[in-house]
Amino acid sequence: MLTFQLSNKRFKHFFGGLSSVAITLLGLLALTFFIGRVMPIDPVLSVVGPDADNSTYEQVYKEMGLDKPLYTQYLYYLNDIAHGDFGNALLTGRPVIEDIARVFPATLELATVAIIFGIVIGIPLGVYAAVNKGRAVDHIIRVISLFGYSTPVFWVGMIGLIIFYAWLNVVGGSGRVDLAYDGFVDPVTGMLLIDSALARDWDVFQSAIKHIILPAFILGLNAVSFITRMTRSFMLEQLSQEYILTAQVKGLPKRVVIWRHAFRNILVQLLTIITLSYGSLLEGAVLIETVFAWPGFGQYLTSSLLLGDMNAVVASILLIGLIFISLNLLTDLLYRVFDPRTRK
Amino acid sequence: MITNSTMKSSSISKSTNANLMMLLKTVGHGCKRIIRNPLTAAGLVVVILLLVIAVFAPWIATHNPLAQQLSNSLQAPSAEHWFGTDEFGRDIFSRLVYGSRITLYIIALVTIIVGPIGLAIGTISGYFGGIIDTVFMRITDIFISFPGLVLALAFVAALGPGLEHAVIAIALTTWPPIARLARAETLQLRKADYIVAVQLQGASATRIIFRHIVPMCLSSVIVRLTMNMAGIILTAAGLGFLGLGAQAPLPEWGAMISTGRSYMLENWWLVAAPGAAIMLVSLAFNLLGDGLRDLLDPRN
């Protein structure tokens, strides 16, 4: 529907952007290919096992195309990926792509709850800081958000576990749900909160909430900081404009001026910021999932790394790169669609 | 020939002297303004403290950071062991003190690698433009399209775990923003009158870039590098935590948290102290970088 509204010029511009994305994508593939190549793990050995004799080894070596020149191998690699073939994972013996599809919803669930924390806490803090610019509150909020930037998430996760799980016992410990409830609900979406709600299994739902709240909150801390800082600076920009002065002179209540005038004008910018920080939660997820034994994508990546499972690592990294590129493209598009000033 | 070169060198030394005076004046003026902002000053104090601790580690540490004493393992903080002992009976305070050296080593090495590379790529890209610019910026885009830690993870996976490999991996992930910044600055400078004047004098591109453009980009690049340091510390700690950075028995803070994890529910001090150290140092660099940016930003 949207494309119909796009004028010819913007249409071209958008596809110009797409072609540059395609080049970035090819580079991304080259990078992951290169990483897979220089890994100090013999890909043949991982297939045939350490006891195989030389002739088997040679045969598999040739079957995998390793005797061909590098660029041919790269083309093979591109071909495989175009067909959705990322090879099998060492640990599970199943296609990597199936593994990732299985673990990804857990991460998506965690990141979604985390970004909700980020929005609900970050935006009011940022607006409040901007309105009280230069006062003590502003400085306190600035220091709080700098803390969010400066703390290692995995450490906060552990301290959170020590305090809220070991000492106070108000949250669930590791994993997505108490062990007693494990496997109670059949995965439909793969997101436990939704699945258990669909199955009307409120015990599991409650347990899942107790388990997700702490890791999601801690994962969201970084997003809180980022959203707070950006909201503050966007708001400051708006509040210094003349239309705000006009609104004030008209005698409108402060609340109306702030929320209905200034805040509405930063919504588009905020939307793009939120999309970007949603993507960067993936980075924190790698660490937080390790701390909380959260069976998601991040944990899959790190455990494959430690095992030296090349196929799984390359596919995971590629996926993260893809998510990042698409989120960037999405924010670009959001801007063009929603912000009339970028239309020419 | 000899007189010519001596004349040249004396004139250079004169101009460097003048430059040095200017620089000292600016730095002195800057220091005053830094101290006026309490948050920036706090950041500066912590960074200086970190340097002092790293330099005088043998005198500050109360125990040998590597000496194991199994009969004394997992002791809670006390007068003898200020931050307690770990699972091998090693003094955590002393390990933290020596760990500051590893942290500084990582920061320094990454910065030394990343600064010149970022500057070179950015200025060359910006000065020449055209196809060189496109190629360089595409490469930069590819590296930026990953979150830092994930890309570093991938490189460490390719190179194998270890402190030096972690440094290389982090360096590979931190140069693109520097390059972009240097490019943006160069694009503004390229058309400046003084650059055109040097071009008309017949100066080579290399000379223009390294003698006339790079020095102008330095201040903003240094600010950016300072702000990067917080990120470097966190990424290094993350790699250490995942077991891919510094290896045992090195007292790297992230690795200390990682090994302490198995005992943390009963012995909180194993993870509390190193994490607090990481947070404090990273916060300090953030505050300092923030302050420097405000200082150099003409809009403030």
CA A42 to chain B, closest CA, distance in angstroms equals 12
Q: Is the dihedral of CA A252, A255, A256, A262 positive or negative?
A: positive
- The residue-averaged pLDDT of A62-75 equals 77
| Residue in chain A lying closest to B265 (CA) | A162
Mutate which of B150, B172, B268 to disrupt the A interface (most A C-beta within 10 Å)?
B150
Among the partner-chain residues B147, B158, B241, the one whose CB lies closest to the CB of A35 is B158
Q: Which residues of B137-146 are buried (b: 16+ CB within 10 A; e: fewer)?
A: bebbbbbbbb
CA B58 to chain A, closest CA, distance in angstroms equals 27
| Residue in chain B lying closest to A25 (CA) | B142
Q: What is the pLDDT of residue A2?
A: 39
Residue ranges and CATH numbers for the domains of chain B are 37-62+84-296 (1.10.3720.10)
- pLDDT band at A9; cut points 50, 70, 90: low
Which residues from chain B sit within 8 angstroms of residue A324, using beta carbons?
145-147
User: What backbone phi and psi angles, to 5 degrees, belong to B85?
Assistant: -125, 160
Among the partner-chain residues B139, B230, B238, the one whose CB lies closest to the CB of A149 is B230
A304 CB-side CA count, 13 A: 31
Indicate whether A6 pLDDT > 60: no
Question: Whole-angstrom Cα distance, residue A315 to residue A293?
Answer: 21
- The residue-averaged pLDDT of A260-265 equals 86
Q: Which residue did the predictor score with more confidence, B282 or A180? A: B282
What is the fold of A98-338?
MetI-like fold (1.10.3720)
Q: pLDDT digits over B32-78, tens only?
A: 766 777 888 888 999 999 999 999 988 888 888 888 877 877 777 88
Q: How many CB pairs under 8 A join A and B?
A: 138
Domain boundaries, given as residue ranges, for chain A? 1-83, 98-338
Indicate whether A250 pLDDT > 50: yes
Q: Which residue did the predictor score with more confidence, B24 or B110? A: B110
Which residues from chain B sit within 8 angstroms of residue A31, using beta carbons?
142
- The residue-averaged pLDDT of B252-261 equals 87
Tokens of B147: 């979150």
Give percent of chain A with pLDDT exceeding 70: 90
Q: What is the pLDDT of residue B14?
A: 55
Q: What is the pLDDT of residue B233?
A: 92
Does B279 sit within 8 Å of A152, measured CB to CB?
yes
Length of chain A in terms of residues written:
344
- The answer to which of A224-233, A310-319, B66-75, B169-178 has the lowest mean pLDDT is B66-75
- The residue-averaged pLDDT of A31-58 equals 73
The letter for the amino acid at A180 is A
- The residue-averaged pLDDT of A132-145 equals 88
Q: pLDDT digits over B139-180, tens only?
A: 888 888 777 788 888 888 788 888 888 999 999 889 999 999
Contact B286, B43 (CB under 8 A): yes
Question: For chain B, what is the largest distance between any 2 Cα atoms, rounded to a whole number of angstroms?
Answer: 77
Interface of B with A (CB under 8 A): 39, 138-139, 141-142, 145-151, 153-160, 230, 234, 237-238, 241-244, 254, 257, 261, 264-265, 268, 271-272, 274-275, 278-279, 282-283, 286-287, 290
Q: Which residue did the predictor score with more confidence, B228 or A41? A: B228
- The residue-averaged pLDDT of A82-96 equals 78
Angle between helices B148-159 and A264-291 (to 10 degrees): 30
Q: Is the dihedral of CA A69, A71, A76, A80 positive or negative?
A: positive
CA A205 to chain B, closest CA, distance in angstroms equals 26
Indicate whether B6 pLDDT > 60: no
User: What is the overall mean pLDDT for chain B?
Assistant: 83
Indicate whether B111 pLDDT > 90: yes
Q: Which of A156, A97, A153, A174 is nearest to A285 (CA)?
A: A153
Q: Which residue did the predictor score with more confidence, B151 or A9? A: B151
Q: Which residue did the predictor score with more confidence, A338 or A241? A: A241
Beta bridge partners of B85: B91
Q: pLDDT digits over B205-223, tens only?
A: 888 888 888 888 888 888 8
Q: What is the pLDDT of residue B48?
A: 92
- pLDDT band at A12; cut points 50, 70, 90: low
Question: Whole-angstrom Cα distance, residue B283 to residue B47?
Answer: 10
The pTM for the full model equals 0.83
CA A305 to chain B, closest CA, distance in angstroms equals 6
- The residue-averaged pLDDT of B105-116 equals 93
- pLDDT band at B112; cut points 50, 70, 90: very high
Q: How many helices (H) and strands (E) does chain B have?
A: 12, 0
Q: Which of B126, B233, B147, B46 is nearest to A226 (CA)?
A: B147
Q: What is the pLDDT of residue B118?
A: 93
Tokens of B168: 């290389």
Has the ipTM of the complex gone over 0.85? no
- pLDDT band at B248; cut points 50, 70, 90: confident
Q: What is the pLDDT of residue A29?
A: 83
